[in-house]
Amino acid sequence: MKRNQLLVLVLMLSIGTAFNLQAQNPMPNTDIYIVPLKVVGDKYTLGKPENITKREGYDNQPAFMPDGSALLYTAIKGIKNAEVYRYDFKTKLSKQLTNTPEDEFSPTPTPDGKYFSVVRVEKDSTQRLWKFPLPGGAPELVFKDVKRIGYHCWADNTILGLWILGDSMKVGDARMGMALFVDTGIGRCIQAIPNDRALSYVKKLSKDHWEIMRFGLGAGKKSDIIKCLPESEDYVWTSDGILLMGSQGKLYKFNPRKDKDWVMIADFKGTELENFYRIAISKQNDKIALVSFKGKKP
């Protein structure tokens, strides 16, 4: 084989591997727990955790519906594809929402409440953003030419934050079908900051120094908010603008308006939630979803 042909083959293999990162890596054994939450002033009271998946396999990437009635998540059952499920809090039952030849990850309700968006691993291993109508129906492609998407977050009905494979961040405009580069060396968790025209993301400055950053959607200014807890990159904002983050089996909060550092609000050491990492919260601030894992942290 000629040298140029060999280089092309190596490049094609490496691109294919990167595009299929979520689907091909061994999936961890994870469960989703719902924990009731009550917030009065600076006091956070957590209720008894409930495992809503309770099985061997991959149940992950939770996202609450805007009205708090249900939770979307990704599950892989047996040797089947990654599909989207909806857990209803009233009936306590899960319903499968997608059934396709492709894998669908990171289900996220759109702000208008009409769709849920997913990262779809297509037949050629391309990862693009699609959205499905909530009542059911054929999906629509959000960005035709923005590929290698790993995770995403809606800032409003048209603007999104995108985590691109290779650890870079872009901000996309669904109306224009394009995305602009923001930063590199970032973590997977991008969030819209409540009551602020801005997104937050984790900047990995070094192996031991990760910062939660703010990116203003107007002027595009970047600023640091607080240093991440040790070995943690998953966090959420309450609707009141308070950060929640976990580390080593403990849950912490940080109020940018008054706290100087992280404040512990719950300790799950010695419980089934001793090992958790991903986190989601309802807009009503009355429930949080924690993803527990077995074995090595994903």
The position carrying tokens 């047996």 is 78
Q: What is the pLDDT of residues 219-257, one digit of tens each?
A: 999 999 999 999 899 999 999 999 999 999 999 999 999
Q: What is the pLDDT of residues 84-142, one digit of tens each?
A: 999 999 999 999 999 999 999 999 999 999 999 999 999 999 999 999 999 999 999 99
What is the structure's pLDDT at 7? 36
CA–CA dist 276, 274 (Å, integer): 6
Rounded to 5°, angle at Cα 164 from 162 and 169: 55
Kindly list the structural domains of the chain, giving each domain's residue range(s) and its CATH number in brackets, ordered by start: 30-293 (2.120.10.30)
CA–CA dist 44, 264 (Å, integer): 10
Q: What is the pLDDT of residues 198-225, one digit of tens each?
A: 999 999 999 999 999 999 999 999 999 9
DSSP code per residue over 174-238 = TTTTEEEEEEESB-S--EEPTTSSEEEEEEEEETTEEEEEEEETTT--EEEEEEPPTT---EEE-
pTM confidence score? 0.90
